[in-house]
Structures are given as structure tokens and as C-alpha cells.
Chains A and B, each alone.
Chain A
Amino acid sequence: MVFNTGAALLDAIVLAVVSKEREGTYGYKITQDVRQAIEVSESTLYPVLRRLQKDGCLEVYDMECGGRNRRYYKITDSGSAQLDLYRTEWETYSSKITMLFSGGELA
């Protein structure tokens, strides 16, 4: 892709992907979901998930699945708050850029 995805945007995308699953979701699925929107390598998301977990935006729990433990990620309240903040900021940011691109005047 032409445009770089910054750390904040990547966080926002991951939080959005995880928040869609009420019961939580797991690393492989998160990567595949994020890939529907942006290009990321298989190794990109582990540090992001780990950091979001440390920051208290995500919580982790293990659940038995097919005879083995699968690690699930679930969004926390503070993660949801953070995601809302990202959404608002993105709204402002993207609408301004879109306005500029389409040749309109900024308010």
C-alpha cells in the first residue's frame, strides 16, 4: 500500500477487530481479519497484541479448544474507551483529508 499505517492506527484496527467478537478472538484469526483492511505480515501483530494487553486494552484468557489450549483476546472497558477515542479522531482526520482531496473548503 502507498500509505503507511502508524502505530496508533494499527492499534485502532486491532482493537476494532477484537471488539467485534463478544467472546474474544485469537491471534491467527485477528491477523486474517486485519488483513482484510491492510497489509500486515504474520509477525506484525504479536507485539501489538502484547502491548495492548500490557496497557490494559485487551485481556487474555486460555480456553480449551480441540484438545489444546487456545489463547483468546478480548477487549476491556478501557480498550473500548480507547477505541471510541480512536474512532472520533479518525472521523475528524479522515473527513478533513477527504474534503481536501475532493477539492472542497475546510470549515
Chain B
Amino acid sequence: MKKEDFMRRLETLLADISEEERQEALAYYWSYFEDAGEENEERILRELESPEKVAATIKADLKVDARKETGAFTEHGYEDERFAGSSQSMEIKKKPSQSKGWSSSGADENRTLKIALIVVIAAVTSPIWISLLAGIVSFIAAAVGLAFGFIAAAVALYITGGVLFGVGIGQIAVGSIAVGFGLVGAAMFVWAVAILITVFCVWLCGKGIPWLCRGIESLWKKVFPGKEKAI
């Protein structure tokens, strides 16, 4: 590739930037070749690698300029030129590191981009997290149902025990004493089971549910780390 071909290709590649920027860049590289002289032409073409790479370098820098950043993270923390006055800041002009991608400046723009990105990701992954959410909700519903079931069972057993006890006492008084004692015994057994269930329910409310909540909370934190800090 000769320098003429290189420059033609570069001009085509720079078609989408402003006329002024394109002319500036082309003038620079034209005179660069001419100042280097014929004898260095081949070496420079080799070192520039390709018109594509040169165009990308030029555009990367323009993009950063166009973002109208107002502040930057420097070694002195966040600094904003508009408020810094004449402070002796090392980073008076914000700029990207050379061809190393973006600097940490332009925080506002970044933030908007980040939010947009999160929305897009949330929409794309919605089948996953909606089903996950549904799973968690149904799990909680099942747990609540189970708890109600236990409470209902305990209440029913207390009533059954009461009935058995009453009938048993009646039998002791007027009917078969053996049947009466048997019924009272059965009542005691039923009450014992009811009390056990009650104790279990109390334990569940006191320990089990908070444990469940903590479990869900830590799971949430694992899935969305640093969520609180972001807010």
C-alpha cells in the first residue's frame, strides 16, 4: 500500500465525522508523510498498521470530546472543572487514556447508559427472574398454608380431645368405667399431640419464619450485590 492509497482509504473511513475534524486529521497525516520523507514512507505505513486503526484512534478521541463530560475521577477524588475554579488540579482537562478505551469521566452519561442497560437486561432476562419470583412467592404461600394447616389441625385436636374427655367422664359416671377411662386416655393422647403441634407452630413463628426471611434476604443480596450502595 502506498501513502496515497492509505490517505484515500483514511478519508473514506472518516466520512462520518465533521468536515473540520476530517480535514484536520488528513492534513496532519499528509504532512506527516511528507515530513518523514520518501525513505521513511514504508516504515511509517507499517507502524500505522492500517487506515482502519488510525481512523479508530481519531474517532475514539472525538467521541470522548463530544460527551461533554463535566467531571472526572482523579487521584484527588471527583473533580469538576466548573466548580474547581483555579484550583491546582492535575486533571484540569479530562481525557481518555490513549487507545485504552474510556476514562472514568462523563459520569452522568455513564449513569444514564447503565440504567438503560439494566432495563434492557431486565427485559431480556424476564423469563428467568419472573419464574424465579413466582417460585419464591409460591414457596412462601406454601409455607403460610402449611402453618395454617398445622394451626387448624391443633385446634381440631383440642376440640376432639375435649369431646372425648367429656364423653369419657360421662361413661365413668354413668356407663362403663373401662370405656370411660379409655376415652379419657384417648383424650389425653390427642391433647398431647395438639400441644406438640402448638409448640411446633410457636417455634415456627419465632424461629422458622425469621430464618426463612433471612435466607431470602441473603439470596437477594447474592443475586443483586451492592444494591443498597447503588441507591
Which residues in A have some Cβ–Cβ distance to B below 8 Å?
A: 4-8, 10-11, 26-29, 31, 41-44, 46-51, 54-55, 57, 68-71, 82, 85-86, 89
Interface residue SS majority, chain A: helix
Contact residues in A for B48 (Cβ distance below 8 Å):
41-43
Q: Given known contacts A44-B57, A51-B95, is B103 in contact with A26 (CB within 8 Å)?
A: no
Find residues 42-87 in chain B having any chain A CB closer than 8 Å to their own CB. 44, 47-49, 53-54, 57-58, 60-61, 65
Contact residues in B for A89 (Cβ distance below 8 Å):
90
Contact residues in B for A6 (Cβ distance below 8 Å):
97
Given A41-B47, A69-B31, A85-B88, 19 extra CB contacts under 8 A: A4-B97, A7-B97, A7-B98, A7-B103, A8-B90, A10-B98, A26-B31, A26-B35, A27-B28, A28-B32, A43-B48, A43-B57, A44-B98, A46-B54, A46-B57, A48-B98, A50-B25, A55-B93, A71-B31
* Contact (Cβ within 8 A) B32 A42: yes
Contact residues in A for B65 (Cβ distance below 8 Å):
51, 54
**Chain B: minimal CB distance from A6 (Å):** 6
* Contact (Cβ within 8 A) A51 B61: yes
Q: Which one of B27, B31, B58, B95 lies within 8 Å of A11 (CB-CB)?
A: B95
Contact residues in A for B34 (Cβ distance below 8 Å):
68, 70
Interface bracket on B: 20 to 34
Q: Does B11 contact A (CB under 8 A)?
A: no
Q: Does B151 contact A (CB under 8 A)?
A: no
Contact residues in A for B90 (Cβ distance below 8 Å):
8, 85-86, 89
Chain B residue at minimum C-beta to C-beta distance from A88 = B88
The 7 A-B pairs of least Cβ separation, nearest first, read A28-B35, A47-B61, A7-B95, A42-B47, A43-B54, A55-B93, A7-B97
Q: Does B96 contact A (CB under 8 A)?
A: yes
Contact residues in A for B61 (Cβ distance below 8 Å):
47, 50-51
Q: How far is the CA of A57 from the CA of B95 in the complex (A)?
A: 14
Chain B residue at minimum C-beta to C-beta distance from A62 = B27
* Contact (Cβ within 8 A) B32 A27: yes
Q: How far is the CA of A8 from the CA of B44 in the complex (A)?
A: 26
